[in-house]
Amino acid sequence: MTVPFVVPETGVPSGGTLYDLRLSRASSVLETVAVPGPWPSPGPEGARALAAVLDGLPDGARVVVDGLVACGVPEIVVPRAERLRPVVLVHLPLADETGLSPETARELDLRERAVLRSGAAVVATGGYAARRLREHHGLPRVEVVPPGVDPAPLARGRGFEEGRVVEGAVPRLLCVASLTPRKGHAVLFEALRGLSDLGWECVCAGPGTPLPNAGERVRFVGPLAGAALEAAYDGADLVVLPSLMETYGMVVTEALARGLPVVASGVGGIPEALGRSPDGSVPGLTVPPGDPAALASVLRAWLTDPGLRRELRASARSRRSTLTGWAHAARALEGVLERI
C-alpha cells in the first residue's frame, strides 16, 4: 500500500520538518505531499490545497497528516475524517508554542482537540508527548513513534578529553536550534555572561534572527545541513539545548550519535531523549528550564572539571549503541497504519 503523508511546505529546517523528511525516506509506504501555507493558520490557499488532497482520496483511505497542518483546520479535517482513516502526527501541541496570546493559544487548543478526537489514530514523537496529549485532550490512546537517528562518526571536538588540545583552543559549545523564544537562547546567553572568567566559545546554528547582546564569543552561523552541520558537530565538545519546552529534542540524540554529551533543560521529552547508557549513567546534565543561574553553574562545572568532562564523554559514547535508526521509526508508524 502507499499512504499519503501530508506535511507543511517549508524551506525552513526544524525538528518537525526533519522528522517528517527522514521518516518518509525510511518508509516504503509513505508518499510525501507538501501543502503550502503558514501553518497552522494557512489562509485560503493552504486550506484549499489540503482539502483537495483529502478529497482526492477514496473512501476508507489511510492518510498521515502532520499535526501542524491538521490541527489548525478542523473545518477541513473533521468532516473528511468520517470517510477516511486519518492519522495525525503531533510534534508539538499547537498551544505550547511560545509567544502566543492567551486567546490564540486557547483557540488553537480547541481546534487541535477537535481534530485529534476525530482521527483514526494519533501519533506522538515520544512518551512524554503521548501522555500529555492523552490527558489534556481526553484521548483513549496515543501511539508513540520516537525519532530515529542516523549513524555518525565520533565528534573529534577540540581534544580536551584526549589531551590533544590545539594551542590556543578553548572548549566549544554548540547549540543547534531555531532562534525562537521557545528554544531559550536568551537563557543561554545570560548564563554565558556569568562565565566570562573562563575560556569557551559558543556556536549557534539554526534559522532566525541573531539575538543582540549575545556576546563576542557567541557566533551565529545560520541554518546548517549536510556537510556543514556535520562539521559543526565534529568541532564541538558539548551540545547545549536550553529550551523552555521540547516534546522530544532530536538534537539530543543527534549529539549522542556522535558521542557528544549534552547539557539541556530537563523539560518535556528531553530526559527521555537523553536516556541512559548501558551502564546506567546519564550522558549529560539537565537544569530547570528558564534558569540562567542553574545553567551557568552546570556549564562552569563542565568547563572546570576535567574528570566530569571525561565521565560525560564516555557515557555519551556508550549511549550510541542504544540509539535506533529511522527504519525502526518507519516500521513503528507502518504498524500503526496496519492496525487502523
C-alpha cell at 144: 508513540
Burial 159-171 (b: 16+ CB within 10 A, else e): ebbeeeeeeebbb
Q: What pLDDT shows up at residue 287?
A: 99
Residues 181 and 276 grouped into a single domain: yes
Q: Are residues 82 and 127 in the same domain?
A: yes
Smallest CA-to-CA distance from 146 within 339, 328, 271, 322 is with 328
Q: What is the DSSP string of 120-164?
A: SEEEESSHHHHHHHHHHHT-S--EE--------PPP-TT-TTTT-
Indicate which CATH number applies to the domain containing 54: 3.40.50.2000
Q: What is the mean pLDDT of residues 276-283?
A: 97
- Kindly give the pairing relationship between strand 143-144 and strand 85-90: unpaired
Question: Considering the domain boundaries, does residue 156 fall inside one?
Answer: no
- Contacts of 167-172 with C-beta under 8 Å, sequence gap 24+, read 170/199, 170/200, 170/201, 171/199, 171/200, 171/201, 171/237, 171/238, 171/303, 172/200, 172/201, 172/202, 172/203, 172/235, 172/236, 172/237, 172/238
Tens of pLDDT, residue by residue over 152-188, are 999 999 866 555 555 668 999 999 999 999 999 999 9
- Residue 97: pLDDT band (50, 70, 90) is confident
Q: Is residue 13 domain-shared with residue 114, that is, in the same domain?
A: yes
Residues 195, 111 share a domain: no
Same structural domain for residues 239 and 122? no
Same domain, 335 and 235: no
β-sheet bridge partners, residue 34: 7
Say whether pLDDT at 285 is over 80: yes
Q: How far apart are CA 43 and CA 50, in angstroms?
A: 11
Report yes or no: 230 and 152 within 8 Å, Cβ to Cβ. Answer: yes
Give the type of residue at 144: V
Are residues 176 and 263 both part of a single domain?
Answer: yes
Q: Is 77 domain-assigned?
A: yes
Which pLDDT score, from 0 to 100, does residue 99 have? Answer: 83
Angle between helices 74-81 and 102-118 (to 10 degrees): 10
Instruction: Answer yes or no: do 121 and 97 share one domain.
Output: yes
Same-domain status, 269 and 306: yes
Are 180 and 311 part of one and the same domain? yes
Please report whether residue 210 resides in a domain: yes
180 inside domain: yes
What is the reported pLDDT for 163? 53
In-domain check, residue 88: yes
Residue 160 in any domain: the answer is no
Q: Cβ(87)–Cβ(335) under 8 Å?
A: no
pTM: 0.90
* More confident of the two residues 232 and 14: 232
Q: Which structural domain range is residue 246 located in?
A: 172-322
pLDDT band at 116 (very low <50, low <70, confident <90, very high): very high
Q: Phi, psi at residue 267, to the nearest 5°? A: -130, 150
Tens-digit pLDDT profile for residues 231-264: 999 999 999 999 999 999 999 999 999 999 999 9
- Give the single-character DSSP code of 30: E
| Radius of gyration, CA atoms only, the chain | 21
- Confirm whether 333 is domain-assigned: yes
Indicate the range of 14-18, 33-37, 119-123, 153-157 predicted with least confidence. 14-18
Tally of structural domains, the chain: 2
Domain-embedded: residue 138 = yes
- 111 and 58 inside one domain: yes
Residue 117 has pLDDT above 70, yes or no: yes
Cα gap 263→247, rounded to integer Å:
16
Q: Are 286 and 239 in a shared domain? A: yes
Tell me the sheet residues that pair with 89: 66, 123
Residue 316 and residue 253: Cα distance in Å, rounded? 10
